[in-house]
Amino acid sequence: YNAAVKKWKGAYTPSTHRIEQSPFAHGGTFSHELLHALTARGYRRLRTLAQQGDVQAQETVALLGELYAKLLAVAPKGTMNLVEDPDEMMADLLKPEGLALAASIPVGQLSPEAQRAADRLNVRQGDSIMDALIRAVEYMIQLISPNQPVSRDSVAFMIARAAAETATATRATFRS
């Protein structure tokens, strides 16, 4: 959303799995919306598996919830918003402000359930929350596309690029 002109730059519609861009879109808009598409579908699949009793999925949902809670606990007011909708939780985690914060905070102590997911994803207590998010997104992509391997570097690059381009566009909007 471009506050200066009150126009949407892009949107992802989960029900149709469709990305739309407006004439106000910039380079980071597509990357940002693609992350919504990947995480929304992947997180929905993860939650469905968890509800069906898949222990690994339950542990990963617990890990993501704990990481989100850790960020909310230290986020400056107005940086992140506590959201009820799990799809929006993923969007909040992937905002530039959330990623910047996630890159600066270690994972630290976790509940036993979340720790099992962290161990499976090769996340250590000293790793940043952003490292853990990258590994969790990689896992979610594998859930929705098991026959298409995705490298951790490409997931990390996409997340970092979307955050950087969105932050740059946001600064430009506020300056104009």
Among 167, 166, 158, which residue's Cα sits nearest to residue 39? 158
- Neighbouring CB atoms inside 10 A of 109's CB total 10
Rounded to an integer, what distance in angstroms lies between the CA atom of residue 88 and that of residue 86? Answer: 5
Using CB atoms within 10 Å of the CB of residue 120, give its burial: 0 to 12 exposed, 13 to 18 middle, 19+ buried: middle
As beta bridge partners, residue 134 has none
Rounded to an integer, what distance in angstroms lies between the CA atom of residue 10 and that of residue 146? Answer: 28
pLDDT at 88: 66
Mean of pLDDT values over 55-76: 90
- Neighbouring CB atoms inside 10 A of 140's CB total 24
Q: Is the pLDDT of residue 48 over 50?
A: yes
Residue range 1-31, pLDDT digits in tens: 444 555 677 777 777 878 888 877 766 677 6
Span between the terminal Cα atoms of the chain, in Å: 15
Counting every residue, how long is the chain? 176
pLDDT at 123: 95
Q: Is the pLDDT of residue 131 over 50?
A: yes
Name the DSSP class of 76: P
Residue range 79-107, pLDDT digits in tens: 666 665 656 677 766 677 777 788 888 99
3-state secondary structure (DSSP) of residue 98? helix
pLDDT at 172: 44
Q: Do 128 and 102 touch, CB atoms closer than 8 A?
A: yes
pLDDT at 126: 93
Going by C-beta distance under 8 Å and a sequence separation of 6 or more, which residues neighbour residue 127?
106, 107
Average pLDDT of the chain to the nearest whole number = 77
Rounded to an integer, what distance in angstroms lies between the CA atom of residue 4 and that of residue 11? Answer: 18
Mean of pLDDT values over 110-137: 93
pLDDT confidence of 61, banded at 50, 70, 90?
Answer: very high
Residue range 136-161, pLDDT digits in tens: 888 888 888 788 776 666 766 666 66
